[in-house]
């Protein structure tokens, strides 16, 4: 066997790379290649040797596994992300290599990853990606990667964290049905919403998680709630970052499902147009770019959504017809959509879609039940095609659809008969009928999402279907399709607070609009003050005016007036300029710190300073009663801002951990006062100061 030195092997690899051919390792000898493979793996020719090794291992494994093992060990010395990525693509494209040495490759990629995250974060992310790909492919168990995915270092560089959401999303696609793993992946994504570099991508993956929950839901209400939550999440992503055609496409797909359930042909057609436009833009955007094979299932899922939505649109058009002149063609279109609701796989890893079926199937059944001519056509067609040897329709689906419609009709007749007997008997003691939640979730899911089921049911009780759909359109546009803050953390926080406020019967109409606007501005203020450095704020020459600064012994402590002045200036120079004032007297026999007035509606914000204990229970116990008292002569909503000057040696709470809704009801009162509590962290060290 010829002895080949490093120079000759390197020259051979370089020549084959230039000629774009595969290196013929057999003529060089196994031992020689194995001896030099580790050094080559650490250099620029690594992808060329990886390709050659993958080819020869695939053809004959005898002896060459040793050379491949040496090459894999040498990858720990690779410092180029491009060379590492190219090498991994070659190795992972070879089933023989993955089967034989996937475990070794996985272990090498994760070796000493923790220090590499800080010294070379891009390379660390590339190595973690390779390990994730092996786990997703089933070559290794997922437990080796989970710790790195779900618990990265708290001070990990953004070059590393910005890659995590995509990897977590791929893991979620693979293990969505493993409850324990999925829960930890979801928690990690939720944490990444607070990382500036990863926030938008994390929000996208969380919206996909909600969409997956909608598809897997067992009931219509659960499916609709998850679907509307996903729709809101995609709106946030689309607003937060340019060219997010993926989020725009998924948002349009959600709208299409919601519109189909509500029998709203105009909204459905609009959603189809937006989905097609978004996918066309995405195709143009990605044209000519390298698409890793392991990410292609996501692209396939987008196309599956497009096909499903087009089927639903075609079915909706046929269901809107009074009479089917071409019965079998029309029925084939409807049955195709009916069957697809349970067979389509519009997200990777989704094994069944009962939630989609819970939305689509009743919509088709109800549409046919309302048109006796269509029901008659269905009955006649099912009878006729069952006699044919080669039926032009899906006989099983047609029989299933007819059986379910007949069952629903029988239940309705029974319910009607029961209601008639009750009315004749004059039973006044009978409990009132429960709200028609199926109608509510089908026609007005955005209304339910915004107000909660009970309030939405009360509002919809005496509204016709047509008017309810008009109201739903308004709520959908203002609450789901529009991002209020274009921020993954603030949007969700605002949505949660508004949902809690909606539990009050007073939080409707103009009150909801105006207090919601004030709350949005308050959250923006709190986020700004949690983010801005003293220099960016313009106080680097007057640091003592930054009331958030870490306090030194004997230094003057900031006072409530510092926060009051800053908050007032924030409101006065924003959307609420001209509506805000300070120190207004004769408010519930007292004086309000900051007051915002919308005509006859007024909202007061109390400002406090805390020096000893900033625990939420302590703040509520000390200050909420006063903040709530100002609402005694107006609507029962207000705000409390607290400047927290307690020490923060281990860091300050996140923004969404520093804002909550507190309720107070004085003795003898019948109405809850709701106070939004926001804490501004003062006396806080900078992130650099927290380093040990």
Residue 581 and residue 237: Cα distance in Å, rounded? 35
Express each pLDDT in 290-340 by its tens digit: 767 777 778 788 888 888 899 999 999 999 988 888 888 888 898 899 888
Question: Between these two residues, 429 and 536, which has the higher pLDDT value?
Answer: 536
- Asked whether the predicted pLDDT for residue 432 surpasses 50, the reply is no
Give the helix/strand (H/E) hosting 402: helix 395-425
- Asked whether the predicted pLDDT for residue 587 surpasses 70, the reply is no
- Asked whether the predicted pLDDT for residue 80 surpasses 90, the reply is yes
**Among candidate residues 116, 118, 115, 97, the one with its CA nearest the CA of residue 106:** 97
Q: Which of 61-75, 360-374, 639-653 has the lowest mean pLDDT?
A: 61-75
Ramachandran assignment for 237, one of left (phi > 0), alpha (psi -120 to 50 degrees), beta (any other): alpha
The mean pLDDT value of the chain amounts to 86
Residue 403 and residue 323: Cα distance in Å, rounded? 21
One DSSP character per residue, 127-142 reads HHHHHHHHHHTTSS-T
- Asked whether the predicted pLDDT for residue 87 surpasses 80, the reply is yes
Q: What is the pLDDT of residue 153?
A: 92
Give the helix/strand (H/E) hosting 267: helix 265-286
Express each pLDDT in 274-295 by its tens digit: 999 999 998 888 777 776 777 7
Looking at residue 621, the DSSP 8-state letter turns out to be I
Express each pLDDT in 355-394 by its tens digit: 888 889 989 988 898 888 888 988 888 888 878 878 877 8
pLDDT cut 70: percent of the chain above it: 89
Residue 630 and residue 652: Cα distance in Å, rounded? 30
Asked if 278 and 222 count as a contact pair (C-beta separation under 8 A), the reply is: no
Q: What is the pLDDT of residue 143?
A: 92
Please name the residue that has the structure tokens 């003691």.
Answer: 429
At residue 52, the 3 state secondary structure works out as helix
Express each pLDDT in 241-280 by its tens digit: 988 999 999 999 999 999 999 989 999 999 999 999 999 9
Residue 307 and residue 279: Cα distance in Å, rounded? 12
For residues 659-678, give the mean pLDDT: 93
Asked if 357 and 219 count as a contact pair (C-beta separation under 8 A), the reply is: no
- Asked whether the predicted pLDDT for residue 418 surpasses 70, the reply is no
What band does 545 get if pLDDT is binned at 50, 70 and 90?
A: confident
- Asked whether the predicted pLDDT for residue 110 surpasses 90, the reply is yes
Express each pLDDT in 588-614 by its tens digit: 556 778 999 999 999 999 999 999 999
**Among candidate residues 346, 349, 306, 307, the one with its CA nearest the CA of residue 169:** 349
Q: Is this structure's pTM higher than 0.85?
A: no
Asked if 395 and 382 count as a contact pair (C-beta separation under 8 A), the reply is: yes
Q: What is the pLDDT of residue 424?
A: 54
- Asked whether the predicted pLDDT for residue 4 surpasses 50, the reply is no
Express each pLDDT in 629-639 by its tens digit: 888 888 999 99
Q: What is the pLDDT of residue 429?
A: 47
């Amino acid at each position: 066997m010829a002895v080949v030195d490093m120079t000759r092997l390197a020259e051979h690899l370089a020549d084959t790379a230039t000629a774009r051919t595969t290196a013929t390792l057999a003529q060089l000898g196994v031992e020689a290649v194995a001896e030099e493979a580790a050094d080559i793996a650490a250099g620029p020719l690594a992808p060329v040797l990886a390709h050659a090794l993958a080819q020869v291992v695939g053809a004959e494994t005898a002896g060459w596994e040793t050379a491949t093992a040496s090459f894999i060990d040498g990858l720990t010395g690779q410092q180029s992300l491009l060379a590492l990525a190219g090498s991994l693509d070659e190795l992972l494209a070879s089933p023989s290599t993955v089967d034989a040495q996937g475990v070794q490759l996985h272990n090498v990629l994760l070796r000493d990853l923790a220090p590499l995250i800080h010294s070379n974060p891009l390379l660390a992310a590339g190595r973690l990606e390779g390990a994730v790909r092996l786990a997703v492919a089933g070559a290794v168990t997922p437990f080796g990667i989970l710790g790195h995915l779900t618990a990265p270092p708290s001070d990990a560089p953004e070059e590393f964290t910005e890659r995590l959401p995509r990897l977590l999303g791929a893991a979620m696609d693979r293990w969505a049905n493993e409850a324990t793993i999925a829960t930890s992946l979801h928690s990690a994504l939720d944490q990444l919403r607070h990382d500036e570099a990863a926030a938008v991508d994390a929000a996208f993956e969380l919206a996909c998680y909600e969409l997956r929950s909608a598809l897997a839901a067992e009931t219509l209400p659960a499916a609709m709630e998850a679907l509307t939550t996903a729709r809101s999440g995609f709106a946030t992503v689309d607003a937060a970052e340019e060219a997010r055609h993926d989020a725009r496409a998924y948002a349009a797909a959600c709208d299409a499902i919601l519109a189909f359930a509500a029998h709203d042909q105009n909204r459905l057609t609009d959603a189809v147009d937006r989905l097609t436009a978004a996918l066309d833009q995405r195709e143009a955007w990605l044209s000519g770019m390298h698409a890793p094979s392991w990410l292609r299932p996501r692209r396939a899922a987008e196309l599956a959504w497009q096909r499903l939505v087009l089927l639903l649109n075609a079915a909706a058009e046929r269901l809107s017809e009074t009479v089917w002149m071409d019965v079998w063609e029309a029925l084939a279109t409807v049955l195709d959509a009916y069957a697809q609701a349970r067979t389509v796989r519009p997200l990777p890893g989704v094994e069944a879609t009962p939630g989609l079926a819970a939305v689509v199937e009743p919509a088709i059944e109800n549409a046919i039940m309302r048109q006796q001519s269509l029901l008659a056509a269905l009955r006649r067609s099912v009878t006729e095609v069952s006699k044919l040897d080669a039926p032009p329709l899906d006989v099983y689906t047609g029989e299933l659809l007819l059986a379910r419609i007949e069952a629903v009709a029988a239940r309705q007749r029974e319910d009607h008969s029961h209601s008639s007997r009750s009315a004749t008997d004059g039973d006044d003691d009978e409990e009132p009928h429960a709200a028609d939640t199926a109608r509510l979730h089908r026609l007005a899911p955005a209304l339910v999402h915004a107000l909660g089921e009970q309030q939405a049911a009360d509002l919809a009780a005496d509204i016709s279907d047509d008017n309810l759909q008009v109201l739903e359109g308004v709520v959908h546009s203002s609450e789901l399709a529009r991002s209020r803050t274009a921020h993954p953390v603030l949007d969700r926080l605002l949505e949660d607070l508004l949902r809690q406020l909606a539990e009050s019967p007073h939080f409707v109409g103009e009150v909801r609009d105006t207090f919601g606007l004030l709350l949005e501005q308050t959250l923006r203020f709190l986020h700004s003050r949690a983010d801005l450095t003293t220099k960016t704020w313009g106080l680097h020459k007057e640091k003592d005016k930054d009331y958030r600064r870490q306090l030194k012994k004997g230094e003057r402590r900031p006072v409530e007036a510092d926060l009051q002045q800053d908050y007032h200036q924030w409101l006065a120079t924003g959307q609420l300029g001209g509506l805000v004032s300070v120190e207004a007297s004769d408010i519930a026999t007292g004086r309000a710190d900051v007051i915002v007035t919308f005509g006859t509606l007024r909202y007061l914000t109390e400002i406090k300073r805390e020096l000893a204990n900033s625990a939420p229970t302590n703040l509520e116990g000390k200050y909420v009663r006063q903040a709530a008292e100002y609402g005694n002569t107006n609507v029962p909503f207000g705000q409390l801002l607290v400047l927290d000057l307690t020490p923060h040696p281990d860091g300050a709470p996140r923004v969404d951990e520093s804002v909550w809704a507190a309720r107070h009801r004085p003795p003898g009162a019948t109405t809850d006062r709701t106070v939004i509590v926001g804490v501004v962290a003062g006396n806080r060290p900078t992130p650099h100061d927290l380093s040990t």
